[in-house]
Amino acid sequence: MGCQDRQTMRWSEACERNREPILTVLRQWLPPGARVLEIGSGSGQHAVAFSRSLDGVQWQASEHPEALAPLVERLRSEGVRPDALALDVQERQQWPSCEFEAVFSANTCHILPPAGVSSLLALAAAVLQPGGLLLLYGPFQDGGVHTAASNAAFDAHLRSLDPRMGVRDAIALRAEAGGLGLSAETEVPMPANNRMLIFRRNADTSG
């Protein structure tokens, strides 16, 4: 990626920092040949890196329609296929109709409004195959308690920008996901006081 590309496309230093730790977890958990839906692909740096690094994995990037064009530009310039999907998680008619072995999203829960987080969980429950995985990366709190001072400061900053944003509660997420047929599998500590929350879709989610 050259300097010219960085000037014309979105670029995230955080993506560069967390790429390898996330990749390590994905290699441990994704089944061979998995079809993965990434929700909120942003700059596309993760989509490019993971598409190239995870042999046999079919990586489907997506982004809100208003932010889709730069993502599509990056994927095309890097030769990554398929093109990104236009996806607003709060618009059910935009949800993919196909099934995936995994859904991945990084640093979106604290940006989405609470209704958007609920929609993300519902979307994952709808598109995952039985036994499929939902992997959520980012900062989380537990029962209203932050796990690090930096996360508390980040939460306060987000809420000052928009009171609907904020570091989400992992305990509440697990409870809500469970009601949708997504069982909490485990969580993986990550650098910079982040975590990867991993859920598995139950074999029967009809009830």
Instruction: Give me the pLDDT at residue 174, please.
Output: 98
Give just the sign of the alpha carbon dihedral 88, 92, 93, 99.
Answer: positive
Is 206 a member of any domain?
no
CATH number at residue 41: 3.40.50.150
**Rounded to two decimals, what is the model's pTM?**
0.92
The per-residue pLDDT for 133 is 98
| Residue whose entry in the numeric block shows the structure tokens 């390590």 | 24
Range list of β-strands (E), 139-193: 140-141, 168-169, 182-190
Residue 17, domain member (yes or no): yes
Provide the residue type at 160 as one letter.
Answer: S
Can you give the pLDDT at residue 9? 62
**Domains contained in the chain, number:** 1
Q: Which two tokens stand for residue 167?
A: 């570091």
CA distance 179 to 199: 12
Residue 109 lies in a domain: yes
Q: Which domain holds residue 80?
A: 3-201
The span from the CA of 197 to the CA of 190, in Å, is 10
> Is 207 inside a domain boundary?
no
Q: What is the pLDDT of residues 100-138, one digit of tens each?
A: 999 999 999 999 999 999 999 999 999 999 999 999 999
Residue 5 has pLDDT above 90, yes or no: no
Q: How far is residue 192's CA from residue 46's CA, in Å, rounded to a whole number?
A: 18
Is residue 64 a part of any domain in this protein? yes
